[in-house]
Amino acid sequence: MGSHSFSLANQSHFKRIHRRWHGRQSQRQILRSQIGFPIKTVSCSTTCHGCSHYHGKTYGTAEFRVTLICGIYPYGWLVENTLCPDWHQGEETRKTE
């Protein structure tokens, strides 16, 4: 029970934080576009959402930041109009379906 349950709780906490952050970023983008600022590109392609390999954390310093999207494809699956061959349904996606 010990470290495994702590690890699962920690992982779900980080996912929840990321979802909140992503929601706030979306709200900010809407406000920025209404004021006239250009729309930024989303850091994670829709292909990666719900995948168990999705990571989505940013590493680095204030001057240089890099987002690690996926454990297999660091910048996410970049081939448009195709599904990632390594996509695997994550646990959270299974719970909501």
pLDDT at 57: 79
Which residues of the chain fall below pLDDT 50? 93-97
If asked whether residues 25 and 2 sit together in one domain, one would say yes
pLDDT at 58: 79
Side chain identity at residue 3, one-letter code = S
Name the domain count of the chain. 2
Q: Which domain holds residue 6?
A: 1-39
d(Cα 57, Cα 33) in Å, to the nearest integer? Answer: 25
If asked whether residues 48 and 13 sit together in one domain, one would say no
pLDDT at 91: 61
pTM: 0.41
If asked whether residues 93 and 54 sit together in one domain, one would say yes
Token couple for 45: 């392609």
pLDDT at 89: 80
pLDDT at 90: 67
pLDDT at 93: 46
